[in-house]
Structure 1
Amino acid sequence: MAPIPKPQAEPDDSPDAYLGLDAEHAERLARERGWSTVRSLPPGAIITMEYRVGRLNFEVKDGRVARAWKG
């Protein structure tokens, strides 16, 4: 029987560290810190609410990260 896959671990990183950063710089930094998916969204964007391990979401307003959260 095949082994049960182990979920990938999330980086030991706080989403709050990205608040106020330039969106492009924040995306690069997040990828360097090990986030497999980085998603930038405009304020009020309609998105699905499923939790994805390894994904970091940014709400970007005026080119800066206004909100950041995992999943």
Structure 2
Amino acid sequence: MAPIPNSPQQPDDSPESYVGLDAHDAERRARSHGWTTVRSLPPGTIITLEFLAGRINFEVDDATVTRCWVG
């Protein structure tokens, strides 16, 4: 049987703290807090729901983060 892969730890960070920030500032902050993948999406974008450890997602409208979630 193949070994179970070790998933990276999620950064100790609050996604809600990014709402209202400028998208560029939010991305810099997320990377400095240890997020390995930062994804910015326009409102209403259709995405798959696979969970990716170490990823933070921003919904961005008018260059401002309006929603944030991990995975």
TM-score range, shorter chain: over 0.9
Q: How many pairs were matched up?
A: 71
Q: Percent identity?
A: 63
Q: TM-score, normalised by structure 2?
A: 0.92
Where in structure 1 are there 5+ consecutive unaligned residues?
none
- C-alpha distance after superposition, 1:22-71 (max 9, x if no partner): 00000010000000000000000011110000000000011100000000
CA-atom RMSD, angstroms?
Answer: 1.5
**Residue identity opposite 1:64 in structure 2:** T
Q: Does 1:47 align with 2:47?
A: yes
Which of structure 1's runs of 4+ aligned residues deviate more than 2 A?
A: 2-5
Q: Does 1:5 align with 2:5?
A: yes
Q: TM-score, normalised by structure 1?
A: 0.92
- Counterpart of 1:20 in structure 2 is 20
